[in-house]
Amino acid sequence: MDKKVSTYTEKKGLAQMLKGGVIMDVVTPEHARIAEEAGAVAVMALERVPADIRADGGVARMSDPGMILEIMDAVSIPVMAKCRIGHFVEAQILEAIGVDYIDESEVLTPADEAHHIYKHDFKVPFVCGCRNLGEALRRIGEGAAMIRTKGEAGTGDVVEAVRHARSVLGEIRRLQSLPAEECMAYAKELGAPYELVMEVRKLGRLPVVNFAAGGIATPADAALMMQLGVDGVFVGSGIFKSGDPAKRAAAIVKAVTHFSDPYILAEVSRNLGEPMVGRQISSLSDEEKLAGRGW
């Protein structure tokens, strides 16, 4: 029997298994176990959550592989890790230690201001952030097997995640209403590969799984993103920067499963303790915004 390893079907397939689930940022093996116990479908191993990266300033890089390996040992669910935009050697290192997914992330300081990683060359799958359909399809063109909205990480303000999800989903609806002869000009306007534009038009969705990320802090935020039409959510600072991480994590998991049942949402939203202290996006200067990183 012929055995084909790490095909694009395999890469996209793992993301399909994560659908309807919550991927949580964790900085220690203990956090990772709390996340798994709460029902997370995967964890993102990193040294600092986005809220701390934002507060500390300086250059944010790939985490120490030793620390990522400890988290991989601590849990049975998939472990993701972040590399800098364009830093293909950080990605090679993450592949070498065997992480299950790489997030080429705007939350870290970009290593290349013009180019992203050519992701088709890797055996490990990649997830990338986007603000709109053009950006999503450029990343998929480079080989991303999963897409997430960028939102504005480390703020606890969901407004940018909503803006980015509405952009992507709205542009897909627009594309489906266009006659074929207008699609080339629309591809040009989006800055997206034509073949992928035509594929999206046929499917009525992205050809890969599409999660929300960046600013989700409550069960209601998570359910809002699900009702808008994403496949699942990433929660970064929102859990372990809150008063009762285990309880909030479990509540967000339930909110994503029962996203269209307001009675269950009401029940899981009760008595969760203090949410993370947020920062309104409108109070951030342009240099403080991470979502603009990516080309």
Q: Enumerate the active-site residues.
A: 82
Of the pair 51, 251, the CB lying nearest other proteins is at 251
CB 40 to other proteins: min, Å? 7
User: 20: alpha, beta or left, given left = phi > 0 and alpha = psi -120 to 50?
Assistant: left
Exposed, middle or buried: residue 4 (CB in 10 Å: 0-12, 13-18, 19+)?
exposed
Q: Does 41 bind other proteins (CB under 8 A)?
A: yes
Tokens of 163: 């803006």
Tokens of 3: 């055995």
* Backbone dihedral angles phi then psi of residue 211, each to the nearest 5 degrees: -100, 165
Contact 35, 21 (CB under 8 A): no
Binding segment toward other proteins, per CB under 8 A, in 35-43, 47-55, 156-164, 220-228: 35-43
Among 82, 164, 201, 254, binds other proteins (CB under 8 A): 254
User: Between 65-74 and 88-97, two packed helices, what is the crossing angle to 10 degrees?
Assistant: 40
Sheet containing 42-45: which strands, arranged edge to edge? 209-211, 146-149, 126-130, 101-105, 79-84, 42-45, 22-26, 233-235
User: 130: alpha, beta or left, given left = phi > 0 and alpha = psi -120 to 50?
Assistant: beta
Q: Does 204 bind other proteins (CB under 8 A)?
A: no
Instruction: Pick out residues in 86-105 that bind other proteins (CB under 8 A).
Output: 95, 98-101
Of the pair 197, 209, the CB lying nearest other proteins is at 209
CB 231 to other proteins: min, Å? 9
Of the pair 39, 151, the CB lying nearest other proteins is at 39
CB 91 to other proteins: min, Å? 12
Q: Does 226 bind other proteins (CB under 8 A)?
A: no
Of the pair 19, 166, the CB lying nearest other proteins is at 19
Q: Does 33 bind other proteins (CB under 8 A)?
A: no
Give the interface with other proteins as residue ranges (CB under 8 A).
1-7, 9-10, 13-14, 16-21, 36-42, 72, 76-78, 95, 98-101, 123-125, 250, 253-254, 256-258
